Amino acid sequence: MNLILFGPPGAGKGTQADIIVKKFNLYKISTGDLLREEIKKKTDLGNKIKSMIDKGILVSDTIINDLIIKILSDNKFYNRLIFDGYPRNINQTKNLDLLLKKYDQKISCVLCLNVEKATIIKRILGRLICSNCGLIFNEYFYPVTKINHSCDPKSLKKRSDDNEKTIISRFETYLDKTLPILDFYKKQNLLHEINAMGKIDQISEEICDIIASLEA
Ligand code: AMP
């Protein structure tokens, strides 16, 4: 089973993907996380990627396609993927389709998380990520406590693109380039729309029910 978690920036895709991965024994492929790993290496490519991410625009399809080929050609991940933040435009969608056919795989379901713009902005501005364990928290909606996090509080960081100016441009990029790909999956009857305005565990319960029904 391969899944796509779809939605605007700040919809909670990463948080939900982490829950689904544990419950259904899948691998999360976040192209954003893979790009941030490259940035950490401080290579020329990493610097180029950083400048695009900080502007809130999409990184080139060639860079993304190279990352995805490595994943889909790896037997370890065969039919066990949940894509978070990919595909992001029509070209990536078509390329994914070709690669899935080439590696004898398919998408079982596209879960679209719907959230209002005002909530998105608050979620992004409050987001904190632990650079040690990777867990995602939120100053407003899911604060760090001694129970939910055991790493040094100094490892909690904000993303460099989680600022008010970049959020607006990321949201516009989403409307302009990413949202149109929904039609592609709607036509294949793969789309499940989810109201993602509520609490994390309510949303994950709805998502897990949908995934469980695919497995049945
Ligand atoms: P995310 O972590 O998914 O919020 O992505 C952060 C940023 O990484 C985006 O604003 C883009 O600049 C870049 N990015 C992530 N995934 C993709 C993708 N599939 N295609 C192009 N750019 C991407």
Interval between CA 147 and ligand 1 midpoint (Å):
31
Residue of the CA atom closest to atom 12 of ligand 1: 53
pLDDT band at 89 (very low <50, low <70, confident <90, very high): very high
Distance CA 135, CA 127 (A): 11
Q: Tell me the average pLDDT of the chain.
A: 95
Distance CA 6, CA 110 (A): 7
Which domains are delineated in the chain? 3-116+172-215 (3.40.50.300)
Nearest to 174 by CA among 88, 92, 113: 88
In short, whether 170's Cβ falls inside 6 Å of ligand 1 is yes
> What atom of ligand 1 comes closest to residue 87's alpha carbon?
19
> Is 80 annotated as catalytic?
no
Q: What is the pLDDT of residue 215?
A: 77
Distance CA 147, CA 198 (A): 22
Q: How many CB atoms lie within 10 A of CB 54?
A: 16
Taking 90 as the threshold, does the pLDDT of residue 216 lie above it?
A: no
* 33-83 residue pLDDT tens: 999 999 999 999 999 999 999 999 999 999 999 999 999 999 999 999 999
Task: State the catalytic residue, choosing from 13, 36, 50, 123.
Answer: 13
> Is 123 annotated as catalytic?
no
CB 3 within 8 A of CB 13: no
Amino acid at 92: Q
Across 82-104, average pLDDT: 97
Distance CA 111, CA 209 (A): 12
In short, whether 124's Cβ falls inside 6 Å of ligand 1 is no
Cα–Cα distances in angstroms (integers) from residue 134 to residues 23, 73, 98, 102, 192, in the given order: 17, 25, 31, 32, 27
* 157-198 residue pLDDT tens: 999 999 999 999 999 999 999 999 999 999 999 999 999 999
